[in-house]
C-alpha cells in the first residue's frame, strides 16, 4: 500500500484547474439472492458448517473517473467499489466474514505518455485477461478473490472487479505491427493466515504477496493469426504462448499453452496428511513444490451477424489432483470428522478442517481448478430490444461434477436505458466427494438491478 500515498501526492501537486478535466461515472447495483445448499462432507463441532437455506441482500456502488491532468501526456484513471451485504439468517462457521462492508480499489492508475506509442503506468493496475472464459493459461498475473464469502453480485460487469488488482508498474510500446510490455508487481507483504479465506485477507495480501516480473509480446503481422508470448520471472517462473486464429470474421479458433517451472497453487502433502491420521500434528498441510507443469486450453468461438456468441473450451492442467490424490483429501476430511470425545483433540481436528477448507477455497479464489480435465460451453444471445441471455456449463471430466448458470439482462426504455434489470439461476452439482459438490450441492437464484447515474 506504500504506492497509494505517492499517487495521492502526485495528484495533489497538479493545479486544481487541471483536475477539473475529469469524466466521472457512477453506478449502483442492488441484488437479492436465495441459496439452497445440500449437506456437505464437512462437519465442524459435529454440525454442518453451511446454512442450508438463506437469502442475501447485496449492494454495490461503483465510481469511475478518468482525469486528464496534462493534455495528451498524463492521465489519472480510477475505479472504486463500495460493497455491502446482509443475510436474512445468521451464516454458519464456513461462511463468516470479518465484516459486511468493504471498499475495493479496483484501479488507481497514473499514466504518462512518453511518446505516441510508449506509455508508462503506475499504481493499482489490472492484468490483461486471456482468450478464454474458463481459465487462460497465458494469464500469468493471477490474484485472489476480493468479495464476500457467502454472497456476491452476479451481474457480469462485476466478474473482473472481484479479482484483486495489483500494485505495480507497466511500461508498454504499442504499434500497428506489434505490442511489447513489461509488468512489475513487487512483493509488499506475505500471507500469514492460510486458514482464512482470501476474502478476509488484506487487499495487499491478495495482490502483492509475491515478486513478479512479466514480459509480454504480441505480433499483429500474421494476417488471421495473432500470436503472443508471456514470460514470468520472480518468485514463480513460467512461459506461455497463445494464438487466436480468425478463420472467418465470425469464427475464431483459440489456443493457449503454458509451461511452469513450479506449481501454481498449494497442494495437500500426502506425508503430512498421513501424519495427522497417525495423530501427529504438523503446522501446515499444503505447499507448492518445484515440480514443473503444463496448462493447455483450446477453444472455438462463433459470433452471429446479430452479435450472439457461442463457444466451447477444453482446459487441461498437469498439476491437478489425480483421482487417487483427491481421494486422500476426502479421506482426510472424513477422518477429521470423527468424534474423538477428547476436547483438545476435537478442537485440533476442527482447526485442520478450517485450514483445509480455506486452502481449497483459496485455490478457486485465485482462478484455478483442482482437477485435470475440464469442458466449458457458453452462449450469449442478444435480442432486438438489447436484452441478453448468457449461459454456461462447466464439467469436471473426471468426477462429472458441474457448474451451470444462466442470466437474463434487460435495459429499461423508460429511464433512457440507465436502469437495467437482471435475473438468473446457478447450480453446483456433484456428489460429496466431487470438486463442485465438496462444499454441498448448491442451487441459487437472484434478482438485481443496475443503475447508471
Kindly state the cell numbers that stand for 348: 485440533
The DSSP 8-state label assigned to residue 453 in this structure reads: -
The DSSP 8-state label assigned to residue 77 in this structure reads: E
Contact criterion met (CB below 8 Å) for 243 and 254: yes
Q: How far apart are the first and last CA of the chain?
A: 30
How far, in Å, CA of 308 to CA of 248, rounded?
Answer: 16
Per cent of the chain over pLDDT 70 is 96
Nearest CA-CA partner of 242 in 213, 224, 217: 217
Q: What is the pTM of this model?
A: 0.92
Nearest CA-CA partner of 370 in 240, 223, 266: 266
- Residue the block writes with cell 489490472: 126
Q: Where are the domains of the chain?
A: 3-452
Q: Which fold has domain 3-452?
A: Porin (2.40.160)
How far, in Å, CA of 337 to CA of 333, rounded?
Answer: 6
Nearest CA-CA partner of 367 in 191, 134, 150: 134
How far, in Å, CA of 350 to CA of 333, rounded?
Answer: 10
Per cent of the chain over pLDDT 90 is 86
Most confident of the following: 21-35, 151-165, 410-424: 21-35
Q: What is the mean pLDDT of the chain?
A: 93
> What would the pLDDT profile of 215-261 be if each residue is shown by its tens digit?
999 999 999 999 999 999 999 999 999 999 999 999 999 999 999 99
Count of beta carbons in the 10 Å neighbourhood of residue 309:
16
> What would the pLDDT profile of 176-185 be if each residue is shown by its tens digit?
999 999 999 9
| Rg of the chain, C-alpha, whole Å | 23
Contact criterion met (CB below 8 Å) for 188 and 2: yes
How far, in Å, CA of 402 to CA of 134, rounded?
Answer: 13
Amino acid at each position: 500500500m506504500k504506492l497509494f500515498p505517492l499517487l495521492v501526492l502526485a495528484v495533489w501537486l497538479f493545479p486544481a484547474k487541471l483536475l477539473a478535466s475529469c469524466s466521472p461515472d457512477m453506478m449502483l447495483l442492488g441484488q437479492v439472492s436465495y441459496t439452497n445448499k445440500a449437506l456437505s462432507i464437512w462437519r465442524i463441532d459435529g454440525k454442518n458448517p453451511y446454512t442450508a437455506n438463506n437469502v442475501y441482500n447485496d449492494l454495490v456502488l461503483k465510481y469511475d473517473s478518468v482525469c486528464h491532468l496534462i493534455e495528451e501526456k498524463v492521465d489519472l484513471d480510477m475505479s472504486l467499489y463500495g460493497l455491502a451485504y446482509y443475510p436474512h439468517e445468521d451464516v454458519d462457521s464456513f461462511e463468516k466474514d470479518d465484516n459486511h462492508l468493504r471498499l475495493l480499489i479496483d484501479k488507481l492508475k497514473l499514466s504518462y505518455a512518453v511518446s505516441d506509442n510508449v506509455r508508462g503506468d503506475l499504481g493499482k493496475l489490472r492484468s490483461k485477461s486471456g482468450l478464454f472464459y474458463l481459465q487462460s493459461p497465458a494469464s500469468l498475473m493471477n490474484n485472489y478473490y476480493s468479495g464476500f464469502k457467502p454472497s456476491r453480485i452476479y451481474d457480469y460487469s462485476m466478474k473482473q472487479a472481484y479479482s484483486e488488482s495489483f500494485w505495480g508498474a507497466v511500461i508498454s510500446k504499442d504499434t500497428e505491427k506489434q505490442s511489447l510490455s513489461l509488468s512489475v508487481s513487487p512483493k509488499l507483504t506475505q500471507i500469514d493466515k492460510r486458514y482464512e479465506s482470501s476474502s478476509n485477507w488484506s487487499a495487499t495480501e491478495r495482490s502483492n504477496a509475491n515478486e513478479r516480473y512479466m514480459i509480454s509480446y504480441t505480433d499483429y503481422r500474421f494476417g488471421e493469426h495473432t500470436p503472443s508470448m508471456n514470460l514470468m520471472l520472480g518468485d514463480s517462473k513460467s512461459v506461455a504462448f497463445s494464438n487466436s486464429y480468425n478463420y472467418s470474421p465470425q469464427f475464431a479458433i483459440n489456443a493457449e499453452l503454458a509451461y511452469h517451472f513450479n506449481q501454481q497453487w498449494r497442494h495437500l502433502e500426502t506425508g503430512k496428511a498421513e501424519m495427522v491420521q497417525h495423530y501427529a500434528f504438523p503446522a501446515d498441510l499444503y505447499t507448492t513444490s518445484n515440480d514443473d507443469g503444463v496448462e493447455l486450453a483450446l477453444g472455438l468461438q462463433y459470433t452471429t451477424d446479430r452479435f450472439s456468441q457461442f463457444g466451447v473450451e477444453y482446459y487441461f492442467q498437469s498439476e491437478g489432483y489425480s483421482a487417487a490424490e483427491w481421494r486422500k483429501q476426502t479421506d482426510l476430511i472424513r477422518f477429521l470428522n470423527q468424534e474423538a470425545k477428547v476436547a483438545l483433540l476435537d478442537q485440533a481436528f476442527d482447526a485442520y478442517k478450517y485450514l483445509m477448507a480455506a486452502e481449497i477455497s483459496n485455490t478457486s479464489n485465485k482462478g484455478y481448478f483442482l482437477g485435470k480435465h475440464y469442458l466449458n460451453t457458453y452462449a450469449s444471445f442478444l435480442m432486438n430490444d438489447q436484452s441478453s441471455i448468457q449461459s454456461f456449463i462447466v464439467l469436471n471430466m473426471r468426477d462429472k461434477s458441474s457448474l451451470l448458470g444462466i442470466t437474463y439482462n434487460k435495459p429499461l426504455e423508460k429511464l433512457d436505458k440507465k436502469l437495467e434489470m437482471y435475473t438468473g439461476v446457478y447450480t453446483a452439482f456433484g456428489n460429496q466427494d466431487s470438486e463442485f459438490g465438496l462444499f454441498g450441492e448448491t442451487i441459487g437464484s437472484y434478482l438485481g438491478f443496475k443503475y447508471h447515474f
